[in-house]
Amino acid sequence: MSSTLSAEEIQIKREFNELLENCQRCNKRGDKALIRKAFKIAYDAHKGALRASGEPYILHPIAVARIVTQEMGLGVKAIVSALLHDVVEDTDFTLEDIENHFGSKIAAIVDGLTKISGVFDKNSNLQAENFRKMLLTLSDDVRVILIKLADRLHNMRTLGALSTARQMKLSAETLYLYAPLAHRMGFYTLKNELEDLSLKYRYPKIFQELSDKIKSQEKSHEAFIREFAKPIKEQLEKNSIPYDISGRYKSIYSIWHKMQTKNIPFEEVYDLMAIRIVFDPLPTIPEKTQCWNIYSMITDIYMPKPERIRDWVSTPKANGYEALHATVMGPKGNWMEVQIRSRRMDDIAERGFAAHWKYKTENSQENELDKWLKRIRELLANPNPDALEFLDDFKLNLFASEIFVFTPKGDTITLPVNSTILDFAYEIHSAIGHKAIGAKVNHKLVPLNHLLKSGDQVEVITSDTYRPRLDWLDNVVTLKAKTAIKDALKADNKDRMVKGKKVLEEKLLEIKLRPNARIIQKLLPAYELSNKDELYSKIGMGLLPLDDLYQVLKQNTKSKWVNYWSLQLGKSSAKSKASASVNSRQHKTNVKTPILLKENLDSATTDYAIAKCCNPIPGDNVIGFRDIIDEDKITIHQAKCPNAIKLLSSQSELLVPVKWTTHKLLSFLVKVAINGIDRFGIYNDITTVICKELNVNIRTINLSSHDGVWDGTMDLYVHDAKDLNNLIGSLSKVKGVDAVKRVEVIS
Q: Which residues are catalytic?
A: 89-90
Torsion sign (Cα): 575, 581, 585, 591: positive
Rounded to an integer, what distance in angstroms lies between the CA atom of residue 271 and that of residue 257? 13
Rounded to an integer, what distance in angstroms lies between the CA atom of residue 159 and that of residue 153? 10
What string of H, E and C letters represents the secondary structure of 22-72? CCCCCCCCCHHHHHHHHHHHHHHHCCCCECCCCCECCHHHHHHHHHHHHHC
- DSSP assignment string, 202-244: HSHHHHHHHHHHHHHTHHHHHHHHHHHHHHHHHHHHHTT--EE
Q: Exposed e or buried b for every residue in 91-125, given b needs 16+ CB within 10 A? A: bebeeebbbebbeeebbbbbbbbbbbbbbbeeeee
Query: Coil, helix or strand for 83?
Result: helix
Q: Is 588 exposed, middle or buried, given 0-12, 13-18 or 19+ CB atoms closer than 10 A?
A: exposed
Q: What letter would DSSP give residue 628?
A: S
- DSSP assignment string, 332-345: TS-EEEEEEEEHHH
Rounded to an integer, what distance in angstroms lies between the CA atom of residue 747 and that of residue 733? 28
Rounded to an integer, what distance in angstroms lies between the CA atom of residue 416 and that of residue 426? 13
Torsion sign (Cα): 177, 178, 183, 185: positive
Q: What angle do CA 275, 281, 282 make, to 5 degrees?
A: 145
Rounded to an integer, what distance in angstroms lies between the CA atom of residue 157 and that of residue 55? 14
Q: Which of 89, 94, 106, 117 has the alpha carbon at shortest distance from 37?
A: 106
Name residues whose C-beta falls within 8 Å of residue 698's C-beta, 6 or more positions apart in sequence: 687, 690, 691, 714, 715, 716, 717
Amino acid identity of residue 722, one-letter, is K
Torsion sign (Cα): 88, 156, 68, 371: negative
Rounded to an integer, what distance in angstroms lies between the CA atom of residue 26 and that of residue 378? 35
What string of H, E and C letters represents the secondary structure of 454-471? CCCEEEEEECCCCCCCHH
Query: Coil, helix or strand for 302?
Result: coil
Q: Phi, psi at residue 37, to the nearest 5°? A: -60, -45
Inter-residue contact 733 to 727 (CB < 8 Å): no
Torsion sign (Cα): 58, 59, 64, 68: positive
Inter-residue contact 72 to 151 (CB < 8 Å): no
Q: Which of 196, 339, 201 has the alpha carbon at shortest distance from 255?
A: 196
Torsion sign (Cα): 560, 565, 569, 574: negative
Amino acid identity of residue 120, one-letter, is F
**Which parts of 352-403 fold into alpha helices (H)?**
353-358, 368-381, 387-399
Torsion sign (Cα): 179, 183, 187, 192: positive
Backbone dihedral region for residue 681 (phi beyond 0: left; psi -120 to 50: alpha; all else: beta): left
Q: What letter would DSSP give residue 304?
A: B
Q: Phi, psi at residue 366, to the nearest 5°? A: -65, 120
Name residues whose C-beta falls within 8 Å of residue 680's C-beta, 6 or more positions apart in sequence: none
